[in-house]
Amino acid sequence: MLEVKDLRASIEDKEILTGFSLNIKPGEVHAIMGPNGAGKSTVGNVLSGRDAYEVTAGDIGFQGEDLLGMLPEDRAKAGLFLSFQYPVEIPGVSNMEFLKTSVDTVREHRGLPALDTVAFMKLAREKCKQVDLELSFLKRGVNEGFSGGEKKRNEMMQMLLLEPSLCILDEVDSGLDIDALQVVAKCVNSMRSPERSFLLITHYQRLLDYIVPDFVHVLAKGRIVKSGGKDLALELEEKGYGWIDGVESST
């Protein structure tokens, strides 16, 4: 599904990823944990193709294709999805119009017929219910005036609608109360399948109680310094990051 080899990436000439490698096979759920400043969010941003980051070395293969050669929109069409840590507010563009345009584009890429408005409305209503958002949120501007939790639910709704093959969730748990966290976990768990993979980027172990990963990696100073099974997360929760080689200070 995803093969990252010795990735180096910088922003404004500051190197953040310093030889990051990661292999995700179809159906697997991986979690990346690490102290603040380790470069966790950069992983998601570089994978999704944000302009501000410059990749200076390394390769990324996504479903056999060269991801680095693809535009952000083409990555999304190919089935890569990033749930933003801070989803952007876009006043004036209705959530409904945004979702429909996005779904239409992705469906077209997959050779599926466009959904007519009625069919799309039906689908959107269904997904609204699933993420526990009022239908009125479809009419509002994209994320406009949404609370932190509502923004994350909206991200989950997009994930449900777009049915991506690789879902990257960047700090999806930050700022969420326990109810919202459960909604997020339910979405992810309902979408788990042998064809779909997940990459959870998180600071806290709490999320992993609800979404149980197959692999846990510790990111420090821009590369993975330790990998293990789900128990590694518990160990980190107990001991912090300081005991791992390559992590300077505990957080």
Partner 1 sequence: MTYSLVEKKVPFTLSAATLVESRSRSSQTSWLNDFRREALSQFQSQPWPTRKTESWKYTSLAALSEESYQGEVSEIEGKDVVSSQLSFDGLEGLKLVFVDGVFNQFLSSDESALSADVSGLICQRFSELDDAAKADVQATLGQVVDSENHLFAAHNNAMLQDGLLLKVLKNTKIEKPIQVIHYSTRQTAPCLTIARLVVVVEEGAELTVVERFGSSSETQNGFVNSLTECVVGSNAQLNHYRIHLEDETAQHVGGVHVNLLANSRLNSFQAGLGSVLKRVDVVVNHIEPGAHCELSGIYLPKNKQRIDFHTDIQHRAAHCTTNEVFRGIMADEAKATFNGRIYIHPHAQQTLAELSNKNLLLSNRAEVNTKPELEIYADDVKCAHGATVSQLDGEAIAYLRSRGISREKAELMMSYGFINELVESIKIEPIKQYMTQVLDSWFGQEQ
For binding to partner 1 (CB under 8 A), which residues are involved?
A: 48-51, 71-73, 75-77, 82, 84, 87-94, 97-98, 101-102, 105-106, 109, 141-142, 158, 162
Cα distances (angstroms) measured from residue 145 to each of 137, 140, 150, 202:
10, 9, 9, 25
Q: Which is nearer to partner 1, 104 or 237 (CB)?
A: 104
- Give the CB-side neighbour count of residue 1, counting CA atoms within 13 A: 24
Q: Which is nearer to partner 1, 108 or 179 (CB)?
A: 108
Q: Is 87 exposed, middle or buried (0-12, 13-18, 19+ CB in 10 A)?
A: middle
Q: Which is nearer to partner 1, 109 or 192 (CB)?
A: 109
Q: Which is nearer to partner 1, 50 or 186 (CB)?
A: 50
Could you give the dihedral angle defined by the CA atoms of residues 16, 20, 25 and 30, in that order, rounded to the nearest 10 degrees? Answer: -60
Q: Which is nearer to partner 1, 108 or 126 (CB)?
A: 108
Cα distances (angstroms) measured from residue 89 to each of 64, 77, 141, 234:
34, 22, 8, 35
Question: Whole-angstrom Cα distance, residue 78 to residue 88?
Answer: 22
Least separation, in Å, of the C-beta of 131 and partner 1? Answer: 16
Least separation, in Å, of the C-beta of 158 and partner 1? Answer: 6
Least separation, in Å, of the C-beta of 1 and partner 1? Answer: 18
Least separation, in Å, of the C-beta of 77 and partner 1? Answer: 5
Q: Which of 187, 189, 188, 210 is nearest to 130 (CA)?
A: 187
Residue with tokens 């944990």: 33
Least separation, in Å, of the C-beta of 81 and partner 1? Answer: 8
